[in-house]
Chains A and B, each alone.
Chain A
Amino acid sequence: MKMLKHLFGKRDKELDIMQEEAIQSPFRTVVRNFVSNKLSMGGLVIFLIIFLIVLIGPIFNPIDLSEQEETQINVGPGLKMLDVPDELAGNVKEISTGSTFSVGLDNDGNVYVWGYTKVSNRIDVADDMPSKDELGKVVSVSAGFDHVMALNEDGEIITWGSDRMGQCQLPMEVKHEKIKQIAAGYQISYALSESGEIFCWGNENLNDVRLTRRNGNSNIAKISVANTTLMALTEDGEVRHMGSQSSDISKVPEDLGTVKDIATTADACVALLEDGSLRIWGKANKSEREIPEMDGEIVSMFGGRYHITVLTDQGTVYSWGSNAKHQTDVPKSAQNVVAIYGGTYQNYAVTESGEIVTWGLKGYLLGSDELGRDVFTRILNGGRMTMTIGAISVIISTIIGIIIGGISGFFGGWVDIVLQRLTEIVSSLPFLPMAMILTSIIGNSMSENARIALIMVILGVLSWPSLARLVRAQVLAEREQEFVTAANAMGVKKGAIVFRHIIPNVISVIIVSATLDFAYCMLTESTLSFLGFGVKLPRPTWGNMLNGCVSSVVIQNYWWRWVFPAIMLSICVICINMIGDGLRDAIDPKSNER
């Protein structure tokens, strides 16, 4: 500490300009040389920016390691999920939200699609939308996981988007029915006829639906689509689960009484009871049960994936449930609301003046990955992990290198011979294979945090020999200097001479070496993680984010998953290397001539 203060601390005595020009400490010369090197300064600035971003970023973007979201898989970069078209303002009839896109309908029967509309490699629900002539005057729309349904005034149902599971194959019997409600789900389409019967088509293996009369498929007033099943409300105010499998959501409470309205989140159902109160059942463990105090009667409600939004007759909107994607942050401007729409992670509120207020998930700045996790958040958190591991390994290796190099160089004799052989043995251990074997053998039975510590130690313990050699050579040279003789004559202890008199004189070489080692350790860590021997998923690092990206599909179609981490890692290492090079040139201007 004292050494650092001595080196970098402010001098007590202020010098005027003339004196400073005349006498300049070597350290200042180094700083001046370094600052005048544009390339290295640029590198330093960029590196510091990245460093601060990954240091501070995770505080605002904490990572949820268990996060998995099937509706948000491989979403491209962009923040347009809430970009309601201007034509819709003041003229909204209905808005329905699918997985990553929303469909809007205006009072003239025009349909608009916005958001991330590329639902698969080939299908884009915005491009595939039928022309106005084909659609006719639409009266209702519904967006599903990867397809859209529209109902026009002739009673015709039109679907587009993905048809992989037959969700766009309208059955004949539906064509003759008069339809009052349509609902698109996870690869499945539902239609409710005026006579109160539900029809469905699409992926009936994934979705738990049984539409038989015996199962209560009659007299239905409203349907609401949960993640992979269907809830229905009868004309008599009874809630029915339209599936055959027993699950949390299928256990409809028996004491509900007459239900006025229902809404569903992914795995839970909300019922609005006769007395104006709400009841929730199902799998609701993301604080969906924490119903806020509300003034006024509830007039309308819908469920997102893990949140619920309601509108009261006072024109006030309440959202509660999971706020991981800011879907319950109702903005102040949502006053005097007349209608609310939404789903998944998006909310749209139409105010009296016709303005559309939006809140919820805007999109993913750098896209999302194969489990629907935000790449940006993972880059921030992964960067912190990569840099921490790199920094701590360098500190370990530098400390070992200084101690061994210092002792070996100063004392000489048999100590030197033994330490030299030790250095030789460690440096003849093949680095990458050795690190792989150590993490896989020792680290197998460890907890993830212990593994990370182990990786730091392994990298540190394997990478010190080059620095030790360097320090030894420097100490050998410094040992013969007069100040060492003086210290010796004054009776300073040997250890103190090495570490307090000699090492501060060779600190510049050590700093350069540590800087370049930092880059090397980061690279090794990321290579290890890339191969699956370093930090394991789901904990991100810049290396293991690229782990699942070596396939032509990902490389081509989901480029954001590998391009962004790769760019960050490369820029970071390039900058560190530039800083190291610049420092070396600044300390030893002669080396610049090389």
Chain B
Amino acid sequence: MLKYVGKRLIYMVGVFFVVSIILFILFNNVPGDRALNQVQNLRGKVSDETFQLRYQEARDKLGLDDPIPVRYVKWMGNLLRGDFGYSSFYKKDVIDVLGTPLLNTIQINIMATIIALAITIPLGIHCAVKKFSKFDNAIQVLTIVGYSMPQYIIALVFIFIFAVKLGWFPISGMNTPNFQGTGLAFVLDRIHYLALPVIVMTVASLGSMTRYVRAAMIDALRMDYIRTARAKGLREKVVIYSHAWRNALLPVITLIISWFMSIFMGSIVIEQIFQINGIGKMYYVGLMNQDYDVALAVNMLYCVITLISNLITDLSYGIVDPRVRINK
């Protein structure tokens, strides 16, 4: 097992560097002069010579005249030391810009995951046990609809129903503007604002999750030990929840991990629609305003998330199914 983990880790690091090189080259081919952007506000205020001097200083500082490999090594070194660059849009270091949004995104994702699991697991189990019943068939059709609808359409429909027509939730934002309350009042206000995005994210993920849980559960229910358990005369509840579900749980856990990671990317749309100050919004704003240091940092973060989720998935497969380890 240890050898397997080591091998996967080495792969992961290798892939990480390849991806980072691709991204770095991409971002360095962006048209526009970043050094000029930094000293733009000095133009006209100082003499031309001083301006040229400042401009050259900025170029040197950014290392724009170095060959690409040198710049990559420098950038990578900074990255590994936790220096993600400077945001030209927020006029701050990228690391300071991204802190709060990252926390917000994680918050929302955890909430959405918990709610989605609370719905999909019982639903999936029920559908698997009562497979091909009318209820199950209806749910099957609904899940196709669920995973076919893009998130933003679900968001529009939910905004229409719950924010515009019923007026239960605000349409966008994270807090009431100029909200003064602290402590519990603040938390409640925040929950009130984040409820709708979380609901939309949950609903958007119900379809595929339910299908997956159902499939895993059906596989588990088909096993011989279930027949044995039933033959022993165990109560159906015990058979389903104790024998079958525990075995179906392992593939589901794998799914949950990779899914939890993937909603980081999905939250770009949700954060944009609901104007939530999250990591996806940062990415969007960064790209829209040519603030490429922020965009690059977020993109690297996404890559790391994907790689880690791939790693965890692989490892958990290894734990669940020892044959995977031997084959590799």
Contacts and interface: CB of A to CB of B under 8 A. Distances in A.
Given A436-B283, A445-B31, A532-B288, A428 B303 contact: yes
Given A437-B287, A555-B159, A574-B145, A526 B150 contact: yes
B152 A530 contact: yes
Contacts of B163: 552
Contacts of B18: 425
A72 B10 CA distance: 62
A518 B218 CA distance: 28
B273 to A, nearest CB: 5
A569 B153 contact: yes
B307 interface: yes
A161 to B, nearest CB: 26
Interface string B22-47: 11001101110000000000000000
A531 B284 contact: yes
Contacts of B155: 550
B144 A578 contact: yes
Contacts of A531: 268-269, 272, 284
Interface residues of B, number: 55
Contact of B287 (A436, A523, A527, A546): A436
B156 interface: yes
Interface in B295-327: 295, 298-299, 302-303, 305-307, 310
A421 B16 CA distance: 12
A594 B218 contact: yes
Contacts of A530: 150, 152, 269
B73 interface: no
Judged by DSSP, the binding face of A is: helix
Q: How large is the interface on A (under 10, 10 to 19, 20 to 34, 35 or more residues)?
A: 35 or more
A570 B153 contact: yes
B19 interface: yes
Nearest to B292: A441
A437 B28 CA distance: 12
Nearest to A562: B156
Contact of B156 (A523, A555, A593): A555
B60 interface: no
B168 to A, nearest CB: 13
A433 B280 CA distance: 9
Contact of A39 (B141, B268, B287, B306): B141
A593 B218 contact: yes
B9 interface: no
B283 A433 contact: yes
Nearest to B147: A577
A555 B164 contact: yes
Interface in A446-505: none
A441 B299 contact: no
Interface of A: 39, 421, 424-425, 427-434, 436-438, 440-441, 444-445, 519, 523, 526-527, 530-533, 546, 549-552, 555-556, 559, 562, 566, 569-570, 573-574, 576-578, 581, 593-594
* Across the A-B interface, the 5 shortest Cβ-Cβ residue pairs: A430-B302, A573-B148, A574-B148, A566-B153, A556-B164
29 contacts: A421-B11, A424-B11, A425-B18, A428-B19, A428-B303, A429-B306, A430-B299, A430-B305, A432-B265, A433-B302, A434-B299, A436-B284, A436-B287, A437-B287, A437-B299, A441-B27, A445-B31, A519-B148, A527-B152, A530-B152, A531-B268, A531-B269, A549-B156, A552-B159, A552-B163, A556-B164, A566-B153, A573-B148, A574-B149
